[in-house]
Amino acid sequence: MTAFLRRALRGLALAAACLALWPAAQAANNYTQTRYPIVLVHGLFGFDSVLGIDYFYGIPQALRQGGAQVYVAQVSAANSSEVRGEQLLAQVKTILALTGAQKVNLIGHSHGGPTTRYVAGVAPELVASVTSVAGVNRGSRVADVVRGVAPAGSVTEKIAAGAAKALADLINFTSGGKNLPQVPVAALNSLTTAGSARFNQNFGAGVPTSGCGDGAELVNGVRYYSWTGNKTITNLLDPSDLPLALTGLVFGEANDGLVSVCSSRLGKTIGTYGQNHLDEVNQMLGLRDLFVANPVTLFREQAHRLQAQGL
């Protein structure tokens, strides 16, 4: 066999290998490409982006790299689930008008869970799915403790509310949402066990009726999913771990520092991971336990799961 023929055969073999790998490469590029746009919704004292730092740190970019259309909502940093829900609903309608899509996939973290559930409750025709990441779906023991220390109408409540409002105003000012109303007491009332129970009377789709099991996965054409964390100290370099470890002590059950595992359940439970409340959205700046599930990977996997459902 001549040298020329050998080179030609090697070239053909290389070309064949490239062609064989092409579908896999294309599939990888489209891994997160959902039918409907994905809308990420922040929690209490959250934001879309502050000084160039995303609340969902590195997550929108990772989803877009896989082909997803991603929008990051900005609602009041501190307000009731209903007020935040109305703000989100307005943004959803804008996104649908811009994209021409018929529905959206909502993914909410913490107080973003009830916020997204509100939209699915009042306008299910606009929502393909709701994914709750450590959502406060049946209240937080931390909110109960704060409400006990600062009873309604007390001086303590007024002082705490003033400080919380200043923080919320600062967050929204630096993130471009300075016109959004901030009412910390309304947020606190929404996040208590009693407040969550009242909310669930009208917006209980996907919430387990008892115990710590799954809720209904499909309600009014909307699919419901959830996952959460169950650790507080996950990285010794993370300054948020100690405060979360302290707040986690009030639960007496598995929690991520601010929300119990059972309270976070909604619809189909995807999993429980060794993450705390900030790790779940890849904060602080990605500091987390390197030996547990990568939060960015979990969001990518959920997008792929939605894709498989035709959503």
Token reading at 205: 């789709």
Beta bridge partners of 40: 72, 107
Positive or negative: CA dihedral 167, 170, 175, 180: positive
Active-site residues: which are they?
110, 256, 277
Cα dihedral 163, 164, 166, 169 in deg (nearest 10): 180
Q: Is 217 exposed, middle or buried (0-12, 13-18, 19+ CB in 10 A)?
A: middle
How is residue 58 annotated by DSSP?
Answer: T
Distance CA 99, CA 109 (A): 24
Residue 123, CA atoms < 13 Å, CB-side half-sphere = 19
Which of 127, 146, 258, 144 has its CA nearest to residue 205? 127
Which of 310, 300, 287, 309 has its CA nearest to residue 107? 300
Residues in the chain: 311
Beta strands in the chain (DSSP E): 38-41, 49-50, 53-54, 70-72, 104-109, 127-133, 218-219, 222-229, 268-273
Distance CA 207, CA 188 (A): 20
